[in-house]
Structure 1
Amino acid sequence: MMVNNDEIRFNVCLLHHSPLFSCCSLPTMTPTTAFLPLLLVLYLLSHTISVSFASDSITTNQSLFGNQKIISKGGKFMLGFFTKVNSSSKFYIGIWYNKISVFTPVWVANRATPVSDPNRCVFQIFKDGNLVLFNEANSLIWSTNTTSTSNSSTVAVLQDDGNLVLRDGHNSTEVFWQTFENPTDTLLPGGKIAFNKLTGVKQRLIAWKNTEDPTPGSYSYEMDPQGANQYVMQWNRSKTYWNTGLWDGRMFTRIPEMNGMSSNHDYNLTYVETDKEKYVAYFVQGSDIISRVILNANGQLKMLTWVEITQEWTQFWFEPKAQFTALCGPFGSCNEQRLSYCSCIKGFSEKSPEDWDLNDHSGGCFRNTNLQCDANNNSTSVGEQDKFLEMSSVRLPDNGKPFQAESVDACELTCLNNCSCTAYSYGSNCTLWHGDLLNLQDQYTGSDGGTLYIRLAASEFPSHHKKGKVLWIVAGGVAAFLFCLVLVFMLVVWTRRRRKLMASASEVVMGGLTIFKYSELQRLTKNFSDKLGAGGFGTVFKGALPDSTAVAVKRLEGLRQGEKQFRAEVSTLGTIQHVNLVSLRGFCAEDTKRLLVFEYMPNGSLDSHLFHNNDNVLDWSTRYRIGLGIARGLAYLHEKCRECIIHCDIKPENILLDAEFNPKVADFGLAKLLGREFSHVLTSMRGTIGYLAPEWITGLAITPKADVYSFGMMLLEIISGKRNTKQLAESGDYYFPVEAAMKVRQDMVHCLLDERLNGEANMEEVDRACRVACWCIQDLESQRPTMGLVVQMLEGLLEVTVPPISRILQDLVIDSHGAGQDSELSA
């Protein structure tokens, strides 16, 4: 049958709800066109059903709608409509992993413009050659915006590396647009974040608004806009809060993990700079490795790897590790020690509790009560005048304006008389803040901290004008006064008696420390007769103060430091207080005599419970708590003190145990006190050499990572209950760290546990402790974690991957067992 084309005049559209009706108009039926309906049905079916099966591409006569999807050829990635919350009416076009159990989007097209009914939307190649998305109202809400002018041969292909490529269907090398050059919040292996030198166009990662909403958030990651060869993280696309450090030809200086990545054959990180562009891209060597880099909603850049056995993402590294810009929003305050991290300051409440539940604190907080001061006319309304809330030990917010004021009262009055002033601080000078307060951090010990006075309505403070309260206050004051008189009388009597006892014991009290006379310490220790122990720094004796408080007195030997300098250093150490550090009670600096007075630890040192034959063997729970406590104490010395203090002699003999077997690091200030003599004393000490990091022997500069190495060695001894080195008649020298490193890789950590425990231990904790220890004893200090990260690992807050066997340990294995072990170590 012949069909006249002039009689078949109708418009064919790609239908997404009812394919046979709605937008196609048919001519009047004639006998010669009796079979046109059948032909139309066949035509439409041939062009709409094609997207129903597992294709990896969208051609010019296809579209996606509803639950239709395309899948990459290898099946690794899928593209289609999705929603993060099942009950949500917000749908997005995106790409996600197809073969893992956790739904993980890696690219989203319509981030800021979700659709509500994907069955009435179309994702297709438009007539101008662009890949577009039309919503329910047939409005264009997203497009690739390429310069291609024809769609006749254009095709969109989802590749097996997760890259969606819009290209010429006949020439795969002619690419018009691709998601790898237009990322959202995720960088996949093979992708890049580039800067085009010719056009000035920058690619960037932009975080999600929160964990459920892909709307572009406040944080971004891109090449330095100033032109430096580094990447920066910015808040609101303007303020830089962290950078990678400059590229040194091998790695970015502030990401030492890159050095470890470059030695890992599974990953390859490359910096490329040409006349056209510069960028960093990373690749994975194994086809079975699933890896991604993501800028999360909290503004942290994380490298994650999928672990099939545990069915979860494992964190390889993340930056930054400290507080950063506007994380808690206006009038929000952060605290690294708090589980919830962000909170509203007093007088303010969460602006959006729903967002806070999703870890999105960027909206910040709002005032519970409006200020009496009217910011429009700079005057006060009828009512009680605004007041100021004092916040001490706080990181002062940004953008404060200096103001000349003679006193703190003058500074406060200046702020009070300006209705736009929301806070002030007075240190060496007066500083005023106007508008929202950002980047507050409480319990802050940094050099840029201080006391902040925040303006609140008077009703936020307790009232002082109610007569009833005044009467109660007066009555209470009188009673308190009489009670105080009695206490003062008793205190005077007690003080006079105590002063007689302590008259010869101390001269003054400075920084909370008592300055003892040498003759008094002789008497308190019964002429140094009760010896507790000895080491390379001196001998320790037990003593008792006049009030019967037991103390430990360490008599330092070979120290020639001047008396004035010694007093200054010791008084500084006296201000360091932590539950896992031995408390310094006082000292003696008389002529050439140097003694330190510490709190007494009734359970002695850790080595006496690990290596000696005691009836009471430390159970695993106690051992793990001891290891965690030591890590917390060292992290405090390294990261929380005003000046970083490196212990330099971590070993069981320097870990003391109180009555409840809580650990306390001892001798943490001796490296500071002994100065340059310390390295000679340390290396000559018997038994300490087994804990020294390689940089001690090679002569490199000593950093806090030297303590990390010593901690790792000691943690192995806590696990095994034996010295790392012991002699076995049947096998010669036996070095436990080698055995531990190999058993960790073989998943046989139960073999490393102290046999006296008879296997009674939390094996998950044993495995975690063994992995942490092996990370700590890496040869290169850049590959060791900080003590802060060690604490988080032992607390279970960070996943601990299987560490590599260090080169030194590999050499020991090969020397002991022959070259045949080399292949096993490299596996």
Structure 2
Amino acid sequence: MDSGNFIMLGHGHNNSAIAWESFAHPTDTWLPGMKMWKGMKLTSSKSSLDPAIGIFSIGMYMSPGKSQLVMVYNKTVPYFSSGEWTGYYFAKIPESEGQKTIEMSCVRVSPASIYYNLSISPLDQTLYILGRLLFSENGELQLYYWMDNNRWSMRWSTYRSQCSDYEICGPYGLCNTNDLCTCVQGFTPKNKSQGWWSSGCVRRRPLQCSATEGTTDGFQEAKNQYLSVKKAVVYNNEQTQQGCRTACLNNCSCTAFAFAISDPPVCRLWFGDLFGMRVSSEGQSIFVRLAASEFPHVTSEHSNKAHALPILLSSAASFFVASAFLSAAFILWKRQRMRKKTVEEEVPMSLKKFTYKELRIATENFKHNLGSGAFGSVFKGTLADSTPVAVKRLEGSTQGGKQFRA
């Protein structure tokens, strides 16, 4: 059909009845005229190059007298909702109201049966604009419309940080300020070949959970971290950080603790695998439990005395050792200085970073398209100080990201 709906008609006496239609079985795209009923959902692609089913989905959620669109990660973890339908737009997606050419509507067939519809309006009596909603491989809802230069252009997006709400980095994965996954210190990726490291990280060395001197597990401090307090157990009877540490250490299932100096002090313990850690300016110090072997240079006073070996050096031998040490230190210093000088000559060190929000404002929400390349589109923009800029937005290719940074 001209609407984009792929229809299969019946046969025999009922050859005009619809036997199957693509609008009832959407993938990642929502076209005008397609009704989004409860139970239906859009599912992201695995990547821009792989149309297989991805890990994000969005569908209608209904409660008595209320309805909203809910985005879900990995089939079970809600990470964003559109907010309730106000009668004109979704509370958390104000862009869905009055887009002049493209807007959303809610049709209530009965109190328990409603659907959302994407509609378009003509700019004038002769011009009709095509529009579509895309649920991207990154779990964003994006509105596109057809441009005069015969290409799709994004009008708005429900962009949110990949680290915001869902556990995309897996167990013991840490989401940093660049929306990239790394592992907590003492851990290594379980499967480096998987995108976003969704399988998480594993310990480099197993925990000992032993009270034997020198083999007791330790804790590595991770500063400025956010970790869901909903999954923590609060121990209000612990009034000091040392007491909180001991409470965690004495329980083999405790994997991390945090202590807040407040009134009263709050001791939080986490049990089992850690999920959803991310770097945050509003975070706190999280102490992650590691095996004693992860701290090779930390030993007790008793252990130092037990393992200390008397070493006797003659004055000649002492002089030789000192001379060798100074020579090695000088050579190392000279090499580092030459390497640093080479790097400074080859790499500019004053590159400014911009947030996604700053670039979106500078380009008026990526309004003026200047053209496109192999891995994305270029948009005209103006910074706050009136400096004209060209902003390239990458579109899904990992190789493109590497070339762009190069």
Aligned counterpart in structure 1 of residue 239 of structure 2, from 368, 391, 406: 406
CA distance in 1, matches of 2:149, 2:308: 68
Asked whether 1:178 is paired with 2:18, we answer no
Q: Residues 244-275 of structure 1: CA distance to partner in whole angstroms, max 9, x if unpaired?
A: 1222221112112123xx2422x242221111
> The residue matched to 1:224 in structure 2 has which SS?
strand
Counterparts of 1:636-647 in structure 2, within 5 Å, are none
2:267 counterpart letter in structure 1: C
1:458 maps to 292
Counterparts of 1:282-361 in structure 2, within 5 Å, are 282-284=118-120, 291-305=131-145, 309=149, 314-322=153-161, 323-336=164-177, 338=178, 341-356=180-195, 360-361=196-197
CA RMSD of aligned residues (A): 4.3
Asked whether 1:418 is paired with 2:251, we answer yes
Q: Residues 541-589 of structure 1: CA distance to partner in whole angstroms, max 9, x if unpaired?
A: xxxxxxxxxxxxxxxxxxxxxxxxxxxxxxxxxxxxxxxxxxxxxxxxx
> The residue matched to 1:769 in structure 2 has which SS?
strand
Q: CA deviation at 1:215?
A: 5.3
1:270 counterpart letter in structure 2: S
Asked whether 1:161 is paired with 2:21, we answer no
Asked whether 1:273 is paired with 2:104, we answer no
Q: CA deviation at 1:435?
A: 1.6
> The residue matched to 1:394 in structure 2 has which SS?
strand
> The residue matched to 2:242 in structure 1 has which SS?
helix
2:320 maps to none
1:439 maps to 276
Q: CA deviation at 1:325?
A: 0.7
1:454 counterpart letter in structure 2: V
CA distance in 1, matches of 2:231, 2:256: 12
2:106 counterpart letter in structure 1: Y
CA distance in 1, matches of 2:232, 2:131: 42
Do the aligned partners of 1:210 and 1:355 also contact (CA within 8 Å) in 2?
no
Which structure 2 segments of 5+ residues have no match?
Answer: 312-349, 371-376, 396-406
Asked whether 1:189 is paired with 2:189, we answer no
> The residue matched to 1:234 in structure 2 has which SS?
strand
Q: CA deviation at 1:211?
A: 4.9
CA distance in 1, matches of 2:281, 2:130: 40
Q: CA deviation at 1:288?
A: 8.1
> The residue matched to 2:71 in structure 1 has which SS?
strand
1:823 maps to none
Q: CA deviation at 1:794?
A: 6.2
Q: How many residue pairs align between the two structures?
A: 326
Percentage of identical aligned residues: 30
Q: Residues 488-517 of structure 1: CA distance to partner in whole angstroms, max 9, x if unpaired?
A: xxxxxxxxxxxxxxxxxxxxxxxxxxxxxx
Do the aligned partners of 2:82 and 2:93 also contact (CA within 8 Å) in 1?
yes
CA distance in 2, matches of 1:470, 1:252: 75
1:331 counterpart letter in structure 2: Y
1:67 maps to none
CA distance in 2, matches of 1:450, 1:165: 55
The TM-score normalised by the length of structure 1 is: 0.35
Q: Residues 592-623 of structure 1: CA distance to partner in whole angstroms, max 9, x if unpaired?
A: xxxxxxxxxxxxxxxxxxxxxxxxxxxxxxxx
CA distance in 2, matches of 1:225, 1:361: 33
Counterparts of 1:724-743 in structure 2, within 5 Å, are none
2:114 counterpart letter in structure 1: K
2:235 counterpart letter in structure 1: F
1:387 maps to 218
When residues 216 and 445 of structure 1 are mapped into structure 2, their CA distance, relative to the original with a 3 A threshold, is same
CA distance in 2, matches of 1:382, 1:407: 23
2:10 counterpart letter in structure 1: D
Counterparts of 1:441-590 in structure 2, within 5 Å, are 441-442=278-279, 444-446=280-282, 449-465=283-299
When residues 365 and 272 of structure 1 are mapped into structure 2, their CA distance, relative to the original with a 3 A threshold, is same
Higher strand share: 2
2:153 counterpart letter in structure 1: T
CA distance in 1, matches of 2:140, 2:235: 36
Q: Residues 757-794 of structure 1: CA distance to partner in whole angstroms, max 9, x if unpaired?
A: xxxxxxx99x7125x88xx9xxxxxxxxxxxxx99x96
When residues 368 and 208 of structure 1 are mapped into structure 2, their CA distance, relative to the original with a 3 A threshold, is farther
CA distance in 2, matches of 1:243, 1:221: 9
When residues 794 and 258 of structure 1 are mapped into structure 2, their CA distance, relative to the original with a 3 A threshold, is farther
Q: CA deviation at 1:216?
A: 4.4
When residues 409 and 173 of structure 1 are mapped into structure 2, their CA distance, relative to the original with a 3 A threshold, is farther
The TM-score normalised by the length of structure 2 is: 0.66
CA distance in 1, matches of 2:250, 2:49: 44
Could you say which structure has the greater relative contact order, defined with CA pairs below 8 angstroms and 6 or more residues apart?
2
Asked whether 1:203 is paired with 2:203, we answer no
> The residue matched to 1:411 in structure 2 has which SS?
helix
